[in-house]
Amino acid sequence: MDYPRLSPDLEVKDFQALFAQEDSILENCRIEEAEFENETLDRINLDQVVFSNCKFTHTNFGHFDALDVRFENCDLSNVVFEGASMRRVEFSRCKLVGCHFPEAYLNQISFQQTNLNFSTFSQVKIDHVEFLDSHMQNTDFFECKLKQVAFERCDLNEATFEQTPMKGVDLSQSEFSTLAVSMGDLKGCRVSSAQAVQFARLLGLIITD
């Protein structure tokens, strides 16, 4: 995993100042306690930015482009990242409940101790992404391409992987009682012995000792 490359001496700036810039570029800075809710901000470009304790709920970030960005303890619930391109981005202790990532590209992304319940990943290319110690109940992956994706100590109960091949994906360290995925897409996925029994039961198999 390649994490955000950030300078230790980022200047604190006002997020609202972004509107005064015609090219919508924010770079080499730190944003603290900003609130930006129920708004639309299209084609924003972020480069070497840290967001700390910010709130961006119900905001539409269309064609969001982020490189070397970290979100710390931020609330991005119900945010839409349509057509987003993110590389070396980290979400730490964030709330992303009900977020939508339609047709996004995620590369070298880390979700740590983050709440992603009810989020939707639709037709997303997910490359070298880790989900660590995160809540992912009822999260939906639809027609996604997964490469080098890890779910470690996550709650995946009632998550859905529809038309999303899971070859090479490791679920063995995460938990779920119900998971929606076709057996064809599950081929090549790494699971624990207990999870293998769960999948067998979902197939209607009767297991005897």
- CATH number for position 100: 2.160.20.80
The residue range of the domain holding 186 is 11-202
Q: How far is CA 142 from CA 2, 101, 123, 160, in A?
A: 25, 10, 6, 8
**Position 48 in a domain:** yes
**Domain count within the chain:** 1
pLDDT in tens, 37-73: 888 888 889 999 999 999 999 999 888 899 999 999 9
**DSSP helix/strand/coil, 16:** helix
Contact 186, 164 (CB under 8 A): no
In a domain, 35, yes or no: yes
**Band of pLDDT at residue 36, cut at 50, 70 and 90:** confident
The answer to the question of residue 177 being in a domain is yes
pLDDT in tens, 108-135: 999 999 999 999 999 999 999 999 999 9
Residue 78 — pLDDT band, cuts 50, 70, 90? very high
The three-class DSSP label of residue 14 is coil
Q: Provide the whole-model pTM.
A: 0.92
